A and B are shown apart, each in its own frame.
Chain A
Amino acid sequence: MHLAQVTVVMRGGEDAKAHFSRAIEETMDALYTVALRLTRNGADAEDLVAETVAKAWAAFGQLEDKERFRPWIFRILHNSFISDFRKKKVRPVEESDIRVNTCGEDDDDIFSLLETMPHDFLVWWGNPEREYVNKLLGDDIRKAIASLPEAFRVTVILVNVEGLSYDEAAEVLGVPPGTVRSRMKRGRTLLQKSLWEQATGAGLDVSDRMKEGIE
């Protein structure tokens, strides 16, 4: 079975390999982005991507619609992470793992920073010319993303960062599209709660930056 598949690929000869190589060049950054959010460690992310590429080449002959390469290889990456990486993880996570207090999956309320403090927050938010604020803001969002439970984190990354449709993300994650829909709502809600906690939490100075932005 396995040999036969390899033969199919080899029959394509240079074409299949050239096609595969180009597809990898085009998706490399995206694969690394998703791998990094899953493993939360640069070295692990590189290993995971390399493992994914090896597996993808072995199965490339089975991919009938080459237009579906992106969701297809993301799925291989995600499955590799679940089956291999999560278990044998030896390296520590690099990103700080801030706890989000409320993360019940069923909770359907939609928390919005905008509703919590519309004016101040918008003024703070809409200050892109302040370069240092911008940079810290990136850190704030990175922390907030890192604090999301894995299921929400990977869903938000696939949809918002890599631009997959809900159907494609569902295929990658092996869940129904409705689950992607509810994870997006919940994930974005948790993300805003986490940003809010950072903004109001003791020892973190986001609230000071908000005041500076307003003055």
Chain B
Amino acid sequence: MIIAKRDYMKKKIHITKHDLLPKHVKISEKEKKAILKKYQVTLKEMPKIMKADAALQGMKAEVGDMIKITRKSPTAGEAVYYRVVTDA
């Protein structure tokens, strides 16, 4: 039992590789413009994500960037969601 615990402590967990975390991808400026146009919105009307969010680790996302999130769904197969990076 004790050995197992020590192993667990040593292991570093990479959330971004976890099975339950949906795929987060930073999209290009061009794609971002297209999304804004498609939904007729400005960044203010978009859902947000904190810059410090664990899902954005190692992505070099800056405030104003757009993140594409691809989730698995039992009814829709894959569901796409967009969020804008914010810091407050």
Specify whether A and B are partners: no
Q: Which residues of A contact B (CB under 8 A)?
A: none
Residues in B lying within 8 Å of A, measured CB to CB: none
